[in-house]
Chain A
């Protein structure tokens, strides 16, 4: 696929996502924050259903060698980075999706958050250029490296290669776990509705 076609596909996908998120008021921040603070799960349930569909879809196609999974080494930086991100999204009241969607609704706070996300990224580019950590893609080995706090690379593809079991099998297990969480939320909501 040409670079132009890739950009076009991405734009069409993004446009539909923007429209659906705007019309549904879905927010990833609310999916976590509201569940923790207010014990409401409107967005959490949607997130879990999407993850179930994606898990079955992605692992199903990975099983037959199709698709374009992400390939890069992971490590402590994922925990630290997403800890900072999670704190930031609750403070800003928006995640990466809702900043763009709320900006499209005329919310200047979201535009402000987006500007400072760019500033934060630029600041980190300066820090990275001094510490060279986490490793650049060209320096990634795919192997465990304790001195660099990296665990290497592992996904449904590597699981399939190492065990000889189709990736979809592991996908189904994950989907069942996600469904269990979804059912627990539904039961909790039913109990709350019955007692109120």
Chain B
């Protein structure tokens, strides 16, 4: 099948996603990822900590772990769709970061993303594909933050690239 042989133009792909996101906005709410990831974090924490998690106020005042939270299934769907695409196009194979510096950058990067999402109540997806198109003030604040952050991260990335 041609679809799995050629790389799709990202403008076409994102246009299709935008149209689908409008349908999602009409049915449940705009595309977001951070909320689902937070709920997954709560469910994982509850699995390991049991009722101890009830003693952490965040997990009953902000996010109460609930496996029926629809945003979780967007992320699981993305994983499923990506596996289907990668397997069908013969692009699935295990790959690991090679250098120690990559492991460090990914670890710090992951931590910063998690802390940042929870501090802001939004992720990059809800910034660009939800809040800003809804003309929400939070979208413009978030865009100014992510642009400054990406610029700062790029400086570090460039330095590591040049050093490596």
Binding site for B on A (CB under 8 A): 1, 3-4, 6-26, 28-29, 32-33, 36-37, 42-43, 45-47, 49-51, 53-55, 57-59, 61-62, 66-70, 72, 74-97, 100-109, 112-126, 128-129, 132, 134, 136-138, 151-156, 159, 167, 170-171, 174
Contact of A28 among B23, B80, B128, B152 (CB under 8 A): B128
**B93 partner residues in chain A, CB cutoff 8 A:** 105-106
Docked pose: A101 CA to B162 CA in angstroms: 28
Indicate if the CB atoms of A18 and B78 lie closer than 8 Å.
Answer: yes
Docked pose: A135 CA to B45 CA in angstroms: 22
Binding site for A on B (CB under 8 A): 3-4, 7-34, 37-38, 40-42, 44-45, 56-59, 61-63, 68, 70-86, 89, 91-97, 102-103, 105-138, 141-154, 156-158
Indicate if the CB atoms of A122 and B45 lie closer than 8 Å.
Answer: yes
**A76 partner residues in chain B, CB cutoff 8 A:** 141
B interface, over-half SS: helix
**B102 partner residues in chain A, CB cutoff 8 A:** 109
Indicate if the CB atoms of B110 and A114 lie closer than 8 Å.
Answer: yes
Contact of B135 among A94, A114, A121, A167 (CB under 8 A): A167
A interface, over-half SS: helix
Indicate if the CB atoms of B113 and A10 lie closer than 8 Å.
Answer: no
Docked pose: A85 CA to B18 CA in angstroms: 23
Indicate if the CB atoms of A120 and B125 lie closer than 8 Å.
Answer: no
